[in-house]
Amino acid sequence: IFVGTWNVNGKAPPTDVENLKRWLNCSDEPPDIYAIGFQELDLSKEAFIFNETVREAEWQKALEWSTHPKAKYRLVGIVRLVGIQLAVMINYTHFEHVSNVAVDYVGTGILGKMGNKGGVAVSFQLHNTTLCFVNCHLAAHVEEVERRNQDYNDINTKINFKRHPQAIKDHDQIYWLGDMNYRIRRLDTHEVKKHIAMGDLNTILCHDQLNQEKERGKILAGFEEGDINFQPTYKYDVNSDRYDSSEKARAPAWTDRIFFKGKGIYQQLYRSFMELKISDHKPVNALFRSEIGIVNREKYRRIHEDLLKSMDKLENEFLPQVTIDSTDVVFDTVKFREPQAKDIIVANTGMVPVDFKFIQKNDEKSYCKEWLRITPFCGRINPGEKSDIRLEINLEQALQSLDDILVLHLEGGKDLFITVSAKCQRSCFTMSVSTLCRCPVPILNLTPEQLKHAENGQSQVLYSVPRELWLLIDFLYRKALKTRDLFESSALHEEMKKIRECLDSGTLDQISDSPYAVAESLLIFLSFTKDPVVPYHLHKRCIEACESFAQCKEILEQFHKLERNVFLYVCMFLQDLLKYSVDNGLDCHGLSIIFGDILMRTPMRNTPKPHCRKKTRFIEQFLTNDLSDLIQVNKQ
Amino acid sequence: MENMATRTQTAQRPNGSAQGKICQFKLVLLGESAVGKSSLVLRFVKGQFHEYQESTIGAAFLTQTVCLDDTTVKFEIWDTAGQERYHSLAPMYYRGAQAAIVVYDITNQDTFGRAKTWVKELQRQASPNIVIALAGNKQDLANKRMVEFEEAQNYADENTLLFMETSAKTAMNVNDIFLAIAKKLPRNEQASGASASGQGRRLAEGDTGARAAGSCCK
C-alpha cells in the first residue's frame, strides 16, 4: 500500500509529471493500493465558500497519469473537504474484492463545518479486511498544540460511515496521513537549521510537538509511525530546497506525517520527496506490506455447513414434544341432554416446556363443535409432566352422530389431531313438529324408512299436534292444574330422563310421578323442537303487531298448520291453567314471559331486551283473549 | 433452553462472509398414507430410517438447513397426516407454503392417482407460485413397481413439477429433491429481518394468508 500526503499550497499539478511519477513509483513492483492525500488543494475563496474546485479533477488526472506503469488502477473512493482531498485507488485486478466503500468528512473550522481544516476518510473492505484511510489538515501555528489535539480528536470520533464498521477505530487497519501541523518546540529556527545541516535529526525529533503529544496520550493512541530519516518537510521557499527565507523565517518542522494502526502492517519505506518543489511543503510517502484476510471459501463453507447442521440438530431436539394416550376418543351412544365426559392424558416427552392449545381448523369459528367442551383448552406442561384434558359432550340437536377432529397445537412445534366421535340416539326432543305429527309409533320404534318419510314430509299427518306434546299436557291437565310453582321448580335429572325414555320408546305406564318434571319436560320439548314454534321469519311482524290482537291473529294465519295447532294448543292449556291461578299461583304475565321466550326463540338464543317485552306481549294477547273462533277455524 | 425452542433467529454473518443470505421457506409434504412422507423427512433431517415408521396423526414439524452457492435455505417442514379423514385439515398446512412435496409409492398405482389429486388441489388452492415436487418413493422396491417412471415423468413435465424417484430407505435422491426445490425457490425477496418465530410461522388463527412468500434475511 502506497500512502502519500502532500500539502500542495493551492498549486496546480506540474505540467511535467516526471517528478510526480518518480514520487509515486518508489518500488519495482506496483503497489496494490494508492492512498494519496492532499491539503490546500485550492486556496481560493470559491473553494472555501462553495467547496468547488477545478483542482480536484486536475490533480486526479495527474495522479492517474503517474501511477505505477506495471499496473492499472481503479478508483475506490475519493472525498474532499475544501482543500483536503483523499483518493484511494486499487490495482484493478483486486477491484472485484472491494466492497462496502464509504466516505465521510469532518470540518473543524468555523462552525465545525466550513473551513479548510478538518479530515476526510475513505473506508472499504478488501476481501475480509476492513481498511480506513484518513487524511487531515490540522490547525496551524506553533502555539496551537491544544487546538490541533482537539481537531485530531474531533476527526477521530466524528467520522461516521453510517454502516458497519461505522467509526474509524472499528476498522482492521487504519492509515492516518496528513498535514498534522505540529511544530518543533523550544528550538529556534537557527538551531533547527544547524542540526539539520549536521544531519542530527534525533535532537530535533525530541522537540517535535507531535511526538510529545502522542507520548502524553493526547493523540494517535495505538498508532505507529516509521522512523523519520528525512529532513523536515516544511517550510520551503517555493521551487527550491531552501527553508523559509522570508521575514517570518518559520522554523522547519515535520508537519507531514503518516501513521498506521492494526494487525499485519509492515512499513517498508518512509520518506519525503525533495524533487517536487512547487509547494512550500515536500510530499511524504510510506510503503506498507499489509496482510489482507482472504476467506478460504471451501473451509468457510464446510464450517458454516457443520454449524448449521448442529444448529438444526439442536433446534429439532428442543422442539416441543408430547404424546397423547388416545388420539381417537369414542364415546358411548349419546342421548339428548345426557352429558358424557372422557379424559385424555397429554404427557410432555420433550426437553422443553410445552404450551399447548386447541386451534381452529381452516375457517371454522371455534376450535371445537358446539356439542363439545374441552377443559382446559390451553395450558403449559413441563418436561416429564402430564396434563389431563377433559372432553365433555352434550347433545341438544338432532344429529345422527357426533364427529370432530381437534387440532392440538404445540407452540413453536407440531400439531396433533384428536378425533372425537359418538353415535347419537334419536329422541322426540329435537325433532320437528311436522315429523312428530307423522310418526305412527314412538320415535325409537320407527324403521329408518318411516323416519325418512316422516322427516321429508312424505308420509301422512296422523296427529294434529305431536303425540308427545299431548302426553305431557294431558298429564298436566290431569295431575297438575292446581300445583304451585309449576314452571319454576326444577326437577331431578333422573325423572327427566325417565320421561324422555317414556316418550321416545312409548310406554303404557304413567310417564312420570312428578308434575314438576313433566312441566319442565314441556318447556324443554318446546325449546328444542327443530324449529321454533313461531316461525323465525315471522318474529319481526309478531313484535310489531303485539299491541293488537286482531293483527296478532292475522299473523297466526301465516303459520304452518301444525305449528299453528301447537301454538293454540299450548295457549289454550295455559288459559286453562290460569283459571286455577288461585291454587297454582301462576299469573298471565309470568307465563307469557316464559313461553314467549321459548315459542319465539331465536337461533342464537339471546334476544334483545325490548324484543323480549314485546314477545311477552304477543303471547299475552293469546292468553287473555278468547280463542274459540280460532279453534273453530281449525276444526273446519 | 426455551429460547432455543422458539426459534427467534437473526441472521448473523461473519465479517464479509461468502454466504449471502438466509432464506426461510415453509415446505409441506402431502400424499396418501403410508407412502413414506415421514420417512423422507426423517431421512433428510436426521439421516435415519425406521422400517416401521408410526403413522402420523397430526402435522409433524422439523427444520433443516441446506446451503446453496450463495444462499442458505432453511426449510420449515410440515409433514402432514396422510389418512383420508384428515384431508380437510391439509389447507392449514399448505396455505402459505412456498414448496410442497407430493409423495406416492411406486408400488401402488392408487397412491399415484391420489398424488395427482393433491397436485390439482395445490394448483387450485395453494399460493400461485408454490414450487411443487413429485416424489415416487420406495424406489428400493422397484421390482414391485406399479407406476412406470416415464408415466410419472410425463405427468410431471405436463404440470411443470420437479420429479424424482426416491428411497427413504436407501437415501436415494432424498437430499437431492430438497436441494432441487431449494434451487428453484425464488431467493430475491429481501424481506425485513428474521421471520417466523413460533406463531408467525403458522397461518391459521386469523391470518388470511397474506404473508410474503419466503423471507430472506440479508
**Direct distance between the N- and C-terminal alpha carbons of chain A, in angstroms, rounded to an integer:** 117
Burial class (CB in 10 A: 0-12, 13-18, 19+), A464: middle
Most confident of A115-119, A166-170, A247-251, A614-618: A166-170
What is the SS3 assignment for B70?
coil
Cis peptide bond N-terminal to A339, omega within 30: no
Tell me which chain B residues have a C-beta less than 8 angstroms from the C-beta of A411: 198-199
Q: Name every chain A residue with its beta carbon within 8 A of the beta carbon of B5.
A: 315, 318-320, 352, 412-413
What average pLDDT does the segment A252-272 reach?
96
Pairwise CB contact (< 8 Å): B18 & A414: no
- Tell me the pLDDT band of A604, cut-offs 50, 70 and 90: low
- In this predicted structure, the answer to whether residue A52 has a pLDDT above a threshold of 80 is no
Cell numbers placing A250 = 518559520
**pLDDT for position A576:** 94
Give me the residues paired with residue A358 across strands.
Answer: A408
pLDDT tier at A9 (50, 70, 90 boundaries)? very high
Residue A477 pairs in a beta bridge with none
Judge: B61–A304 Cβ closer than 8 Å, yes or no: no
Q: In whole angstroms, how far apart are CA B171 and each of B32, B42, B51, B61, B141?
A: 20, 10, 13, 20, 13
pLDDT at B210: 37
Summarize the confidence of residues A138-143 as an average pLDDT.
Answer: 90
Report whether pLDDT(B197) > 50: no
Distance CA B66, CA A274 (A): 60
pLDDT bin (cut points 50, 70, 90) of residue A114 is: low
Phi, psi dihedral angles at A606 (to 5 degrees): -135, 100
Which residue in A585, A596, A535 sits closest to A560, CA to CA?
Answer: A535
pLDDT (0 to 100) of residue A470: 93
Measure in Å the smallest separation between the Cα of B84 and chain A Cα atoms: 12
**Does the beta-carbon distance from A305 to B18 stay under 8 Å?**
no
Provide the pLDDT confidence category of residue A606 given band limits of 50, 70 and 90: low
Q: Cβ separation of B46 and A316 shorter than 8 Å?
A: yes
Which residues of chain B are within 8 Å of residue A361 when distances are taken between CB atoms? 88-89, 92, 204
Tens of pLDDT along A525-580?
A: 999 998 889 998 898 899 899 899 999 999 999 999 999 999 999 999 999 999 99
How far are the Cα atoms of A199, A343, A393, A404 from residue A390, in angstroms, in the given order? 99, 4, 10, 15
* Mean pLDDT rounded to a whole number for chain A: 91
Contact status of B210 with chain A (Cβ, < 8 Å): no
Q: What is the mean pLDDT of chain B?
A: 81
The contacts of residue A608 (CB under 8 Å, 6+ apart) are none
Report the C-alpha gap between B31 and B93 in whole angstroms.
Answer: 13
Q: pLDDT tens digit string along A459-477? A: 999 999 999 999 999 999 9
Would the pLDDT of B214 be above 70?
no
pLDDT digits (tens, 9 = 90+) for B42-90: 999 999 999 999 999 999 999 999 888 778 899 999 999 999 999 999 9
Q: How far apart are CA A469 and CA A526, in angstroms?
A: 9
pLDDT given for residue A605 in this prediction:
54
Q: What angle do CA A187, A191, A195 make, to 5 degrees?
A: 110
Are A38 and A85 within 8 A, CB to CB? yes
- What are the pLDDT digits (tens) for A430-453? 999 999 999 999 999 999 999 999
Which pLDDT belongs to residue A33?
97
Chain B residues with beta carbon closer than 8 angstroms to that of A297: 18
CB neighbours of A261 closer than 8 A, spacing ≥ 6? Answer: A173, A174, A176, A222, A223, A224
For residues A599 and A619, is the Cβ–Cβ distance under 8 A? yes
Tell me the pLDDT tens digit for each residue of B120-178: 999 999 999 999 999 999 999 999 999 999 999 999 999 999 999 999 999 999 999 99
Strand ranges for A92-166 from DSSP E? 98-107, 118-126, 129-137
Place of cell 353415535: A423
Interface test with B, best of A404, A415, A419 (most B CBs within 10 A): A415
| pLDDT recorded at residue A249 | 83
AA letter at A331: F
Cell numbers standing for residue A83: 482543500
What pLDDT score does B200 carry? 32
DSSP state of B190: -
Residue of B nearest to A300 (CA): B18
Per residue in A267-305, pLDDT (tens digit) is 999 999 999 999 999 999 999 999 999 988 889 888 988
pLDDT confidence of residue A84 = 93
Cβ–Cβ of A409/B18 closer than 8 Å?
no
Q: What is the pLDDT of residues A380-431, one digit of tens each?
A: 999 999 999 999 999 998 899 999 999 999 999 999 999 999 999 999 999 9
- Interface list for chain A against chain B, based on CB atoms closer than 8 Å: 99-100, 125, 127-128, 130, 295, 297, 300-301, 304-305, 308-309, 311-312, 314-316, 318-320, 327, 351-353, 359-362, 405, 407-409, 411-417, 419
